[in-house]
Amino acid sequence: MTARILHVSDTHLGKNQYGSKIRSSDYAKAFDTTIDIAISENVDAVIHTGDMFDSRTPDTGAVSSAFRTIGRLESEGIPFLGIVGNHERKWKNQWMDVLETLSNVHRLNQEPFEVNDEIAVYGFDSIRDSEWESMDFSLTECSEDMVVCVCMHELFEEIVPPAKADRSLSHVIENLNLDPDIIPLGDYHAAVDQEVSDVPAFYAGATERTSSTTRDPTVRIIETEDGEVEGYGWRKVEGVRDNVPRPFTPVGVELTDSSTREHVRRRVTEDVPEDEIEDSVVVVNLTGSSDSPITANGAYEVLENLNVKVPYVSDKRTSEVFEFDSEDISDPTSIDIDKMIDEELEDEVSDSTKKIDKEIVRDLTVNKSDIRDIISRRFDLSNEGDQE
């Protein structure tokens, strides 16, 4: 027997990157393009390893897009198997539970989902810090001679840069009661892989660029035959759909005390091809003199006059409490920590401060030693009596 499975991850539907509805549409188109690949390749199943949505409270457009896109697989009789990522994770019912109203959708768990009597697919949702040490990694036995596939949504220190991960995949493998043959992963936005304890583990990458510095959007094709893993190669998410992926162009603009808007305009037109400027995401990074008359707003106006549809200006001269990392640059004005806290309280979280810390650490490069002080000063959470 054989099996071919498309491994997709981190689609982040509903992400209004840089405050742009155009980018939200781009994320939906990218997910649709992955389904084009699944159908054209006639795969036996699609695995999604988490962060289908960018938020635990996606808008109706994002939810409708997910149903419509996965519904295309339903029409083709292709199973869609998924786990819950940290971005969309709720405390009670998950969006994967809602999507299971489609007949082809299955939320992976510690019971095997068998594909073609060839591969047994298991899955663990994104695991909270408070659950990690006591997590039960036991799996229900599957049929003999099947490929054991264990899906997870975690950043593991053996595979991703050390500054981004503090969990060990070796720890998971040691605590599994079955020997895994492959471990498809989500949460890291690049298609990297590594053998850990002799087990191939790999990230699919994201299906759209989450910043100007992330790599091309990618997915993987997992292939097995007669109980053996034949491959798990990656490929770019691209196709006949317009602007999939949309070009990303970073433009460095070094300012002097006498710089003018013409200098900014000239730098942009030098780096961005004329025939691409309207359709590109143009990220202008301002550096140099803090005494320059050019402000971020002034640079935005230059981009608007050049008909840039998705502009973003990062003023590197400005000292800010939070700096965005290369994995997830987003519009600073869109961050609502008050809302984040309210959502945690609504979900009856007893250790609010700890969990807010975790969300910030995932998205922002703040010195870990400073996070609790920052949150305590701003929200006075440390005195609310809800800490362990």
Tens of pLDDT, residue by residue over 334-388, are 444 444 444 444 443 434 434 444 444 444 444 444 444 444 444 443 333 333 3
Amino acid at 281: V
Residues 193 and 92 in one domain: yes
Residues 204 and 352 in one domain: no
Q: Is residue 328 part of a domain?
A: no
Residues 217 and 95 in one domain: yes
Check residue 374 and give its pLDDT.
Answer: 45
CATH number at residue 65: 3.60.21.10
Residues 148 and 263 in one domain: no
Residues 312 and 346 in one domain: no
Residues 112 and 55 in one domain: yes
Are 5 and 47 a contacting pair, CB within 8 Å? yes
Cross-strand partners of 31: none
Residues 232 and 254 in one domain: no
Instruction: Give me the mean pLDDT over the 140-162 stretch.
Output: 96
Distant-in-sequence, close-in-space partners of 54: CB < 8 Å, separation ≥ 6:
12, 13, 14, 15, 27, 62, 87, 88
Q: Is residue 330 part of a domain?
A: no
pLDDT grade for 74, boundaries at 50, 70 and 90: very high
Question: β-pairing, 147-153 with 248-255?
Answer: unpaired
Residues 232 and 252 in one domain: no
Strand ranges, E, within the chain: 2-8, 45-48, 80-82, 105-107, 113-115, 119-123, 147-153, 183-186, 193-196, 199-203, 218-225, 228-236, 248-255, 281-288, 310-315
Question: What is the rounded end-to-end Cα distance, in angstroms, of the chain?
Answer: 52
Q: Is residue 242 part of a domain?
A: no
Q: Is residue 64 part of a domain?
A: yes
Q: Is residue 121 part of a domain?
A: yes
Domain finish residue from 236, 271, 294 = 236
Residues 29 and 78 in one domain: yes
Residues 252 and 132 in one domain: no
Per-residue b or e along 176-214, where b marks 16 or more CB atoms closer than 10 Å to that residue's CB? bebebbbbbbbbbbbbbbeebeebbbbbbbbbbbbbbeb
Domain finish residue from 276, 300, 323 = 323
Residues 29 and 153 in one domain: yes
Distance between CA 102 and CA 289 in Å, rounded? 56
Domain finish residue from 169, 201, 236 = 236
Distant-in-sequence, close-in-space partners of 195: CB < 8 Å, separation ≥ 6:
201
Tens of pLDDT, residue by residue over 174-201, are 999 999 999 999 999 999 999 999 999 9
Please state the domain count of the chain. Answer: 3
Which structural domain range is residue 169 located in? 2-236
DSSP annotation of 162 reads G
Residues 81 and 140 in one domain: yes
